[in-house]
Amino acid sequence: MLKHLMAASALTLVLAGPALAAKEVTLDLVEPIADYKIFVAEKTGELVADTQAFVDAIKSGDLDKAKTLYAPTRMHYEAIEPIAELFSDLDASMDARADDYEKREADPDFTGFHRIEYGLWDKGSTEGLEPFADKLLADVTELNKRITDLVFPPDTVVGGAAALMEEVAATKISGEEDRYSHTDLWDFKANSDGSQKIFELVRPLIAETDPAFVEKVESNFNDVDVTLAKYESGDGYELYDKLTDQDRTLLAARVNTLAEDLSTLPGKLGLD
């Protein structure tokens, strides 16, 4: 529904505003895209290392440790989702929700982070999770390999800034994603940081021509960061149900504005 609203308001802008001259794409995008791949490669390296520790905790039956490692491990994946999601098979086996399957939690194809999350929190045990843990480790290792070999498509990278905020709007603001562990704020932060990274990398290309836009986006990111910072706890975040209605409303507003504004980035860079 958010997207419909956005589509509607974007259209209003298009119809109301004077037609802007189409911007030509330039090779100035080469450096940001290259730097983004290096960023993603680093995150994927951390994902592999942290998943190994997470899997070790599950296989040694250490429930508390496994629960502690779940959210921080996922953050690396959530931060690079525009790229990770390009691989449909891995995205399904690593990050699908029970809702994506006919038999929901009981479906034999329900695997990955959320299957393990379901076991650790809903069942309160590491029992029976070994095969899912092994599969997750194999998947992140394969993801790492595929990302190394991937020539990053500029549309996916630049479009990723808005896609990540849309992801927040669709699945984090609602608390839908981490429904068993309620660690949604960790994912929220990772999505938002991933989006901010893309914006920062292309910012020099639009800073001079579009200073008001840059300032607005930065201010909204800052509001998100400041609000999320209120929920920092230890090395991570409070559970999702600690989020006050007031802050949820503020975050939803900023996230939607960011998603809408950032969806104009490809056009500003001549990628439409």
Indicate the residue type of 232.
E
63-79 and 30-59 helices, crossing angle to 10°:
170
DSSP 123: S
Per-residue x/- track, 181-220, another protein (CB under 8 A): -x--------------------------------------
Q: Please say whether the beta carbons of 80 and 192 come within 8 A.
A: no
Interface of this chain with another protein, residues 58 to 87, rule: CB under 8 A = 85-87
Residue 127 in contact with another protein, rule: CB under 8 A: no
Residue 109 in contact with another protein, rule: CB under 8 A: yes
Find the shortest distance in angstroms from Cβ 189 to another protein. 20
DSSP 103: T
- Whole-angstrom CA distances from 228 to 142, 195, 199, 261 are 32, 15, 19, 20
Among 4, 17, 64, 246, binds another protein (CB under 8 A): 4
What is the C-alpha to C-alpha distance for residues 147 and 60, in angstroms, rounded to an integer? 30
> Which residues have CB under 8 Å from 181's CB, separation 6+?
67, 70, 71, 117, 120, 121
Per-residue x/- track, 6-25, another protein (CB under 8 A): -xxx-xx-xx---------x
Find the shortest distance in angstroms from Cβ 169 to another protein. 9
Find the shortest distance in angstroms from Cβ 245 to another protein. 9
Closer residue to another protein, CB minimum distance, 53 or 98: 98
Among 118, 121, 231, 237, binds another protein (CB under 8 A): 121
Q: Is 128 left (phi over 0), alpha (psi -120 to 50) or beta?
A: left
Indicate the residue type of 111.
T
Indicate the residue type of 98.
A
Find the shortest distance in angstroms from Cβ 101 to another protein. 5
Find the shortest distance in angstroms from Cβ 212 to another protein. 25
DSSP per position, 10-62: HHHHHHHSPPPPPPPP-GGGHHHHHHHHHHHHHHHHHHHHHHHHHHHHHHTT-
Residue 117 in contact with another protein, rule: CB under 8 A: no
Closer residue to another protein, CB minimum distance, 99 or 130: 99
Find the shortest distance in angstroms from Cβ 218 to another protein. 25
Residue 136 in contact with another protein, rule: CB under 8 A: no
The CA-CA-CA angle for residues 177, 181, 183, to 5°, reads: 65
The CA-CA-CA angle for residues 228, 124, 184, to 5°, reads: 15
Find the shortest distance in angstroms from Cβ 215 to another protein. 27
What is the C-alpha to C-alpha distance for residues 167 and 130, in angstroms, rounded to an integer? 29
Residue 246 in contact with another protein, rule: CB under 8 A: no
User: Which residues of this chain interact with another protein, rule CB under 8 A?
Assistant: 1, 3-5, 7-9, 11-12, 14-15, 25-27, 29-31, 33-34, 37-38, 41, 85-92, 96, 99-103, 107, 109, 121, 151-154, 166-167, 170-171, 174-175, 182, 239, 241, 270-271
